[in-house]
Amino acid sequence: MGSVYNFGLFGHSRSGKTILAEAILFKAGAIDRMGDINQGNTTMDYEEEEKRRLMSTNLAVAHFEWKKSICHIVDSPGYMDFIGEQIAAVEAVDIGILNIAADNGVEVGTEKSWNLLKNKQIPVIIFINKLDNEQADFQSTLKQINELFGKRAVNVIVPVFSGNKFQSVVNLLDPENQKKVEFQNFVQNLFDSIAEVDDALMEKYLGGENLTQQEIVTALQKGIVTGTIIPVCCGSGLNQIGVEQLLDFIVNYLPDTSHLPPLKAKNQNNEEIEIQRNNSSPLSGVVFKTFNDPFMGRISYLKVRSGVLGSNSNFYNASQGSKERIGQLFKLKGKKQELVAEAFAGEIVAVAKLTGFKTFDTFSDPSMPVIYPVPQIPEAAVSFSIAPKVKGTEDKLGAAISKIMDEDPTIKIFRDNETNETIISGMGDVHLDVVINKFKEKFGVEVIRGTPKIAYKETITTTATGEGKHKKQTGGRGQYGHCFLRVEPLPRGSGFEFVDEIFGGAIPRQYIPSVEKGVREAMSRGVLAGYPIVDIKVTVYDGSYHVVDSSDIAFQLAGILALQKAVQEAKPVLLEPIMTVEVSVPQEFVGDVMGTINARRGRILEMTAHGNNQVVRALVPLAEMSNYATELRSLTSGRGTFTMSFSHYEEVPPHLAEKIIAAKKSAKEAEKE
């Protein structure tokens, strides 16, 4: 078999990724005509929601061959509400193509995608797209790229203009093009970067000797893998200019899967090991996406990271500790499927009815279990209540909820015991809008959406202790559990830590997990206003037990009581989600926009020029962001846009916290009546 290349398209929403994917598939002969986003017939945007919105909401996968190499391409959504799909795409790919539109330059989504790829240490190349657009500005885009990436970003493919019209592209690695006067600056930068990768090469280069083709390939591969070189290509996906050159550059100058550095994983003993990404290594990989198909049921997308995976074989779910039989494998081309007998290292395949696996679980050879790290999923920050529109469809809604959470790890759906509501939380309004439409269109159950709920949380500001004693004497055996807890605040975002400081058997070992279970239960209910308690360290340091009457449930109840008392003494406060809001507007609206942000308790961080617009970046409480889209639209005659992503939690100002707590208590009282 040929070399395997596996790359993903990343970048800001509407920067042209899906059309670039379409052009790549068309040039490679994998599809026989170019689709059109406006007509809803592209390979990668095949869900009804995507056709209606004219934007990607899910990642999509396709395979093709180029110059005898096997290639897999992943198209990821650019809109920040679909960050979960971007994280999944990063898990699936070996190389990232950062797509930047020449009419808008480096945008918010460009930087976000770059950070995801950089954190995962994935080699990156840049493709400047839409050079045939009337508003395209190659020099300005290049300047912004250099500001973000520094000297690492070097042009390998450059555009040719006739007058101001974009005509074609030129590959600077072609010796004939290196002689042309107009490209000398680009060529100089490129070879300076190549020579810097290796000391011996630098010496040869400075001595005036020509580098051999093999030296150039080796140095480029090393530079790209270590991140010291970020090659810049360019063209137009829409008119298929520069697409062949991009693919040639990938297969000629980028390392294939087997030549990439080894991956880190943990073995059965929780020791870190390195895994070579080739076919002769033991099998390993991850399930990076789960999808519920109306006809085939549950489909799992698999990335083989090492070894060979065969259809209808046994493999091991290392994350869940269970053996599983895998059925018929198939490769994807958007929604089309092609049956295959096996998948090699670096390849992406799908399989139906893999019931025991969750998204981001690791599969491996049963004789060599390994586990790959699971990516961090950002906190959901926007919430609504949902209820079935038609009475009697509760069971159907329950089944749909399970499937939706299975598909999208960034969606949280839970029952609020305080209000008896089902709450759905996600990354933003658009994200939740798409998911709520999915209930009806994909799973056949309509839901009513209630008032947005802010995902407030509670925490403590000082150290305190609390005693919990559950003692009940009834006929026969009684109940006895008794513990002392100390609570301490942790830094914001730390979560929860439970420490056992019991000495001398004051509480028998078997009851310590029961105390922790009670603590977790009390934390989920909150103390101030029924919101979950976070960023807290809880230590059980003393207690007592009864030889006959003590039980798991008694110590759980003691844990609940002790935590409630301790938190009440530890000066509890309410926390609210703070969002990073980036508003892009023409210069004349900047003053008004800053005014609206200040009026919403926002803190302006910075202002930057992006293309013809100014981007105002601010931190704003989520509670203040309702109806902002409408206000911005009206303020800027539809010319302003904004993106919003969760940043962190902050303490609610006391006067507002009082109102929130009072409102929650009133709602609780009303429920009882």
In angstroms, the CA 545 to CA 452 distance is 45
Other Cβ atoms closer than 10 A to 453: 16
In angstroms, the CA 165 to CA 499 distance is 67
Q: Where are the chain's structural domains? A: 4-259, 263-364, 382-455, 458-570, 577-655
Q: How confident is the model over 229-273, as pLDDT tens digits? A: 999 999 999 999 999 999 999 999 999 999 999 999 999 888 999
In angstroms, the CA 377 to CA 405 distance is 13
Band (pLDDT 50/70/90 cuts) for residue 167 is very high
In angstroms, the CA 253 to CA 217 distance is 5
In the structure encoding, which two tokens stand for residue 68, read together?
A: 């005898």
Q: Answer yes or no: are the C-beta atoms of 10 and 117 closer than 8 Å.
A: yes
Which residue in 144, 123, 185 sits closest to 15, CA to CA?
Answer: 144
In angstroms, the CA 234 to CA 16 distance is 12
User: DSSP of 37-79, one letter per residue?
Assistant: GGGT--SS--SHHHHHHTS--S-EEEEEEETTEEEEEEE---S
In the structure encoding, which two tokens stand for residue 397, read together?
A: 């809604």
Q: Answer yes or no: are the C-beta atoms of 109 and 16 closer than 8 Å.
A: no
Other Cβ atoms closer than 10 A to 209: 11
Give the pLDDT of residue 417. Answer: 66
Query: Is the pLDDT reported for residue 418 higher than 60?
Result: no
In the structure encoding, which two tokens stand for residue 572, read together?
A: 């509890």
Question: From start to end of 249-388, where are the E strands?
Answer: 263-266, 272-275, 284-293, 297-306, 309-310, 314-317, 322-325, 329-333, 336-340, 342-343, 348-352, 362-364, 382-388
In angstroms, the CA 375 to CA 288 distance is 10
Average pLDDT of the residues in 494-504 = 89
Residues contacting residue 290 through CB under 8 Å, at least 6 positions apart: 298, 299, 300, 301, 357, 358, 359, 406, 407
Query: To the nearest whole percent, how much of the chain has pLDDT over 90?
Result: 53
Segment among 79-83, 110-114, 186-190, 650-654 with least mean pLDDT: 79-83
Q: How confident is the model over 633-672, as pLDDT tens digits? A: 788 876 777 777 788 899 999 999 999 888 888 877 776 6
Give the pLDDT of residue 452. Answer: 63
Band (pLDDT 50/70/90 cuts) for residue 144 is very high
- Cross-strand pairs, 620: 579
Same fold? 382-455, 577-655? yes
Query: Is the pLDDT reported for residue 610 higher than 80?
Result: no
Give the pLDDT of residue 96. Answer: 97
Band (pLDDT 50/70/90 cuts) for residue 429 is confident
In a 3-state reduction of DSSP, which class is residue 287?
strand
Query: Is the pLDDT reported for residue 505 higher than 90?
Result: no
So what's the architecture of 263-364 in CATH? Answer: Beta Barrel (2.40)
Q: How many CA atoms lie within 13 A of 160 on its CB side?
A: 12
So what's the architecture of 382-455 in CATH? Answer: 2-Layer Sandwich (3.30)
Average pLDDT of the residues in 348-369 = 92
Q: How confident is the model over 515-553, as pLDDT tens digits? A: 999 999 999 888 998 888 999 999 999 999 988 888 889
Average pLDDT of the residues in 471-483 = 81
Query: To the nearest whole percent, how much of the chain has pLDDT over 70?
Result: 97
Give the pLDDT of residue 620. Answer: 95
Strands 613-621 and 479-489: unpaired
Q: How confident is the model over 292-303, as pLDDT tens digits? A: 887 788 899 999
Rounded (10°) CA dihedral 601, 606, 608, 614: 20
Segment among 83-92, 451-460, 550-559 with least mean pLDDT: 451-460
In the structure encoding, which two tokens stand for residue 299, read together?
A: 């489909």
Query: Is the pLDDT reported for residue 106 higher than 80?
Result: yes
Fold observed for domain 577-655: Alpha-Beta Plaits (3.30.70)
Strands 124-129 and 230-234: parallel
Query: Is the pLDDT reported for residue 81 higher than 60?
Result: yes
Q: Answer yes or no: are the C-beta atoms of 237 and 20 closer than 8 Å.
A: yes
In angstroms, the CA 199 to CA 219 distance is 11
* Class of CATH domain 458-570: alpha beta
Band (pLDDT 50/70/90 cuts) for residue 55 is confident
Band (pLDDT 50/70/90 cuts) for residue 115 is confident
Average pLDDT value for the chain: 89
| CATH pick for 4-259 out of 3.50.30.10, 3.40.50.720, 3.40.50.300, 3.40.640.10 | 3.40.50.300
User: DSSP of 488-523, one letter per residue?
Assistant: EE--TT--EEEEE---TTSS-GGGHHHHHHHHHHHH
In the structure encoding, which two tokens stand for residue 42, read together?
A: 């592209």
Q: How confident is the model over 439-459, as pLDDT tens digits? A: 888 888 889 888 767 778 999
In angstroms, the CA 36 to CA 40 distance is 6
Other Cβ atoms closer than 10 A to 115: 10
Question: From start to end of 307-433, where are the E strands?
Answer: 309-310, 314-317, 322-325, 329-333, 336-340, 342-343, 348-352, 362-364, 382-388, 412-416, 421-426
In angstroms, the CA 543 to CA 501 distance is 11
